[in-house]
Chain A
């Protein structure tokens, strides 16, 4: 083929590209001269080649562009030192974002040659996900926030730089801006010490930016209404419950009871509560579980009884929406806590009533806890000295005062805390209550294993909050699960490193061999030349997809398979992965009882959701198949919900299923009450029976997609079939069973398969609505997988779970396909 031809005909618009005219002229010339050239064929080949080359160029361009961007970035870095800062601004919102930003700009101004790049992914959850990916990519930020509860796990992974040498140097130094550690509250600084076993002493891993102690926020107006005295700083739990009962006994103008208090049972708060009785859930080490100590159990039982055996003293805990800090703002609850300072910006917006703060009541002793966030330096930072300069800049008095004005937290710098930047005119009046609790405060000791907190939280919730399990059982479950976790051979370590180099070599060799085999095979086939050309063009067209698939699908799939045989904390680079053989699979299938629970819960969901959803979809499709006026409107109305985003819908349905105020129970209660029945507490006490079905009911919201496919199937059934049967006197029901259903066979099979696969992967709704709680009763398979991968950072374990899921879904699919083959007639699809 003459090169000039296709070089000149790249444009499809002949008017614009004068070359096109020339091409036609050349072709005509060739034809006239008797050269056997089929004009249209050459034009076709030219167009095909042009498009094919364009497709390849697109891919090359995309990769080149990304590569160039990275290159360009590293070149600009050459001009000076750039420090990367990662932080969040959860409750602080845009104001916190602004404060950090202006503080960083001031730092840049004061330190010529130092540049700061700031990353704020949003709330704390997104922050840790971002931090994880940056760590895993081997490009961690130079300095970042760390909550004190994560210090042990981060320290164990060697992610942070010990700061003692900087602190020592600064203490000795006289240079302005040097950090004098004695200026900070020692209890707060200690929260970032960890010696490898216990928090509170040992190496220093972070400089606290701020902190909080905890207590109860109270509604002064309700106290006055109930005629009870306002709490003093040294009030006791007896005072607390007496006050709560008095407020619970009071009624509003409509005769509705108020509620005494909201008492959150988060693990840290329950431990703070136990501290006031001189107890904790564990002893000196995490092998020593002390939660079953009689005094600790008595305290927990007291809390349970307040909530579940009394009316109106504490919020019931049935409702998912009416808990947490928001319930206080309704004005219907006398006290809410234990919360730290972080609710203050939210409560300052309350106009309807007056409120204040009281520290945690005392039990047999006075106690409190310190919750705090540090600025820490990455162990892999290339500019640690500069990073330290930035850390001490961000924790100096001025920076702390600026932050304190948000009201969000207490400055860790004593001077700033005692200044009017913190003890200000704004509510709460009792700012000092937070500071006075410091001397009796403890640092909560958390183990490096993140599962401890979640196991404690979910199990205590079942006993204390939702009450779907007797308290001793819930506590026993925590003990057993935590012991299982401690005993897991995976946790012991000492595994060999993953032989990445060897594996990569093998995989590359296999891929190369495969590619060579394919090429050889193509070469060998005796294809006519024009067909070979067609084939080459075809592959060119498909190349964007093929390359995309290889890079974005095949590579991750293979990697996840390899990872499933490793122990890899997603927080470190891949080189840290350890080879554990089938250890993950062994642990999952033989030991992990939470895995079994998640499988059971998921199967339960599949068994309810698939039939329910399919019946509803088919029923809707039958309705939508009627020939009535305005049917397009109805079809659109039925389909519309499935277009909405899953998270938004989940938030909506959380309200629908709320046990006390939800739409579902408001409708069900009057229907069931004549039979002496009460609607279930979907995600509370009745979660074992009704948790998964609630999600199945919710999945009906997304029935539109299946409905459309059924509708298409119904419209594909020839009318004569039904008419023939109608004339023959076959009843409507038998026509449906005898004709419509069998004719829909392939469509039903397809929809059921899709629904089964989708149901096994249910995630978003549970993630948003319940987070898997109470206990593990709505912890679906993929949610547990997510927990393992992104909350406990057990990427290897999560990968193994993903592959087990794939295997199960594959088996189920094959079984359904095989068992249905005899009953499915594909004629209905052909006209």
Chain B
């Protein structure tokens, strides 16, 4: 159980390829941290620097208050689970789990062998016991005598977990551990890892590219892009108050709708629509280019027959649109609509009457909408909620 502090941590490869730049983060003791981002964002590199598998080229990493920059992995008291499981193919499950526990013999040579034979036997018995206990908690006890080649993917991942668990480290590190599993198994294992965290109360750092996995697992999550930390906060914060357009787009499914335009005298204007901005939320918004971000569940689609039925929302605007595509999900549906040249996705209650080509009225709700400075990674423009906090 330990805190992890990253202070201006950077990784620069030969030349000036920056994999991670100036990451400053503090993880609390026992916290479940998820590093998330698209591939190549530096999340794995950051994890490997914490593990000690990758040299740190700038800044410091401290585990439990101790700077570990120059410590080899074995002295950092961490355990790691790899994407490809990294099970030793020539060892049984039991040996795989025990391998990291067998310490180097303290006394070498024949005298050491004779003198410490009893001691060693006791040590081996202790290890065996520990492996058995861990296997039991993971439900892999019946597999102990098998070789990895005789295991399914899920079983292999469980063994990999067990191998980390049995070492009782201060910090667990996971490098995309579930990405080789099928969707169903992934959800199952996710719950199990969460449960594991609850039980061990160990600090865990978990790398994934899957934002849903990040949201469900994390106490707090670090969203990264191109080696730069975009936001560090709880899943709720990242979803509700994304730091910038990238985070807003990365977190949440379906992806947030972005409409490029400008703010002019309290109204958001794009080529295809005008959306009045409530002054209570965005007081004194200066005029200039901006992007409006609206999550698909904030859009409502009204059949043209129902238009004028008086769906009066407190905030927002209704605009006429055409249905372009429909994806039915059972109780709900994702529907793509065209407002002029702007394509928006809405997630609404299932409505069997809607078909492609229908003319509809789209209501854009602004309750959870955000304004971003223009540009791909434009920062979220502060609103009344931020002031209130």
Q: Does residue A731 face the partner (Cβ distance < 8 Å to B)?
A: yes
For the complex, give the distance between the alpha carbons of A730 and B173 in Å.
Answer: 17
Size category of the A interface is: 20 to 34
Shortest Cβ gap from B106 to chain A (Å): 12
B contact residues around A738 at 8 Å (CB): 88, 99
Closest residue of chain B to A723 (Cβ to Cβ) is B53
Kindly specify which of B79-87, B262-270, B291-299, B337-345 makes contact with the partner chain.
B79-87
CB atoms of B90 and A742 under 8 A apart: yes
Q: Provided the pairs A730-B74, A827-B149, A828-B89 are in contact, do residues A725 and B84 lie with their beta carbons within 8 angstroms?
A: no
Task: Count A-B contacts at CB 8 Å.
Answer: 70
B contact residues around A739 at 8 Å (CB): 88
CB atoms of A724 and B82 under 8 A apart: yes
CB atoms of B88 and A727 under 8 A apart: no
For the complex, give the distance between the alpha carbons of A728 and B99 in Å.
Answer: 8
Within 8 A of A (CB), among B82-107: 82-84, 86, 88-90, 99-100, 102, 104
A contact residues around B83 at 8 Å (CB): 720
Closest residue of chain A to B53 (Cβ to Cβ) is A723
Closest residue of chain A to B96 (Cβ to Cβ) is A724
For the complex, give the distance between the alpha carbons of A62 and B346 in Å.
Answer: 76
Instruction: Count contacts on B: residues with CB < 8 A to the other chain.
Output: 26
B contact residues around A743 at 8 Å (CB): 89-90
Within 8 A of B (CB), among A724-757: 724-731, 734, 738-739, 742-743, 745
Q: Provided the pairs A727-B79, A728-B99 are in contact, do residues A721 and B74 lie with their beta carbons within 8 angstroms?
A: no
Closest residue of chain A to B85 (Cβ to Cβ) is A720
Q: Does residue B73 face the partner (Cβ distance < 8 Å to A)?
A: yes
CB atoms of B53 and A825 under 8 A apart: no
Q: Does residue B214 face the partner (Cβ distance < 8 Å to A)?
A: no
CB atoms of A726 and B74 under 8 A apart: yes
For the complex, give the distance between the alpha carbons of A573 and B381 in Å.
Answer: 102
Shortest Cβ gap from A199 to chain B (Å): 69
CB atoms of A745 and B78 under 8 A apart: no
Closest residue of chain A to B83 (Cβ to Cβ) is A720
Q: Does residue A718 face the partner (Cβ distance < 8 Å to B)?
A: yes
For the complex, give the distance between the alpha carbons of A729 and B72 in Å.
Answer: 9
For the complex, give the distance between the alpha carbons of A730 and B104 in Å.
Answer: 8
CB atoms of B100 and A728 under 8 A apart: yes
A contact residues around B100 at 8 Å (CB): 724-725, 728-730
Shortest Cβ gap from B279 to chain A (Å): 56
CB atoms of A724 and B80 under 8 A apart: yes
Q: Mark A709-726, 1 if CB is under 8 A from B, else 0.
A: 000000000101101111
User: B78 contacts which of A725, A727, A734, A742 (Cβ < 8 Å)?
Assistant: A727
B contact residues around A718 at 8 Å (CB): 84, 86
Shortest Cβ gap from A725 to chain B (Å): 7
Q: Does residue B235 face the partner (Cβ distance < 8 Å to A)?
A: no
CB atoms of B86 and A724 under 8 A apart: yes
CB atoms of B73 and A726 under 8 A apart: yes
CB atoms of A720 and B99 under 8 A apart: no
Shortest Cβ gap from B44 to chain A (Å): 12
Shortest Cβ gap from B216 to chain A (Å): 25
For the complex, give the distance between the alpha carbons of A738 and B86 in Å.
Answer: 14
Q: Does residue B167 face the partner (Cβ distance < 8 Å to A)?
A: yes
For the complex, give the distance between the alpha carbons of A390 and B52 in Å.
Answer: 88
Shortest Cβ gap from B25 to chain A (Å): 21
For the complex, give the distance between the alpha carbons of A721 and B72 in Å.
Answer: 16
Shortest Cβ gap from A827 to chain B (Å): 4
B contact residues around A725 at 8 Å (CB): 88, 99-100
Q: Provided the pairs A825-B90, A827-B89 are in contact, do residues A734 and B104 lie with their beta carbons within 8 angstroms?
A: yes
For the complex, give the distance between the alpha carbons of A459 and B333 in Å.
Answer: 99
For the complex, give the distance between the alpha carbons of A742 and B148 in Å.
Answer: 14
For the complex, give the distance between the alpha carbons of A751 and B139 in Å.
Answer: 41
Shortest Cβ gap from A689 to chain B (Å): 29
CB atoms of A727 and B90 under 8 A apart: no
CB atoms of A728 and B86 under 8 A apart: no
Q: Provided the pairs A720-B84, A721-B86, A825-B89 are in contact, do residues A727 and B52 lie with their beta carbons within 8 angstroms?
A: yes
CB atoms of B88 and A723 under 8 A apart: no
B contact residues around A730 at 8 Å (CB): 74, 99-100, 102
Q: Mark A330-359, 1 if CB is under 8 A from B, else 0.
A: 000000000000000000000000000000
For the complex, give the distance between the alpha carbons of A739 and B102 in Å.
Answer: 14
A contact residues around B84 at 8 Å (CB): 718, 720
User: B104 contacts which of A721, A731, A742 (Cβ < 8 Å)?
Assistant: A731
Shortest Cβ gap from A741 to chain B (Å): 10
Within 8 A of B (CB), among A226-242: none
For the complex, give the distance between the alpha carbons of A745 and B88 in Å.
Answer: 13
Interface centre among A721, A731, A742 (most CB of B within 10 A): A721
Q: Does residue B51 face the partner (Cβ distance < 8 Å to A)?
A: yes
Q: Mark A583-612, 1 if CB is under 8 A from B, else 0.
A: 000000000000000000000000000000
For the complex, give the distance between the alpha carbons of A179 and B149 in Å.
Answer: 88
Shortest Cβ gap from A745 to chain B (Å): 7
A contact residues around B73 at 8 Å (CB): 723, 726-727, 729
A contact residues around B82 at 8 Å (CB): 720, 723-724
Shortest Cβ gap from B21 to chain A (Å): 23
B contact residues around A827 at 8 Å (CB): 89-90, 148-149
Within 8 A of A (CB), among B308-351: none
Q: Mark B152-186, 1 if CB is under 8 A from A, else 0.
A: 00000000000100010000010000000000000
A contact residues around B173 at 8 Å (CB): 727
Shortest Cβ gap from B315 to chain A (Å): 52
A contact residues around B148 at 8 Å (CB): 827
Closest residue of chain B to A730 (Cβ to Cβ) is B100
Shortest Cβ gap from A673 to chain B (Å): 31
Q: Can you identify 19 A-B contacts, CB atoms within 8 angstroms?
A: A723-B51, A723-B82, A724-B80, A724-B163, A727-B74, A727-B79, A728-B79, A728-B163, A729-B73, A729-B75, A729-B100, A730-B74, A738-B99, A739-B88, A742-B90, A745-B90, A825-B90, A827-B148, A828-B89
The 4 closest A-B pairs by CB, nearest first: A728-B100, A729-B74, A827-B89, A720-B86
What residues of chain B have their CB less than 8 Å away from a CB belonging to chain A? 51-53, 72-75, 78-80, 82-84, 86, 88-90, 99-100, 102, 104, 148-149, 163, 167, 173
Beyond the given pairs A720-B83, A738-B99, 5 more chain A to chain B contacts, judged by CB atoms under 8 angstroms and listed by A's residue number, are A724-B86, A727-B74, A728-B99, A734-B104, A742-B90
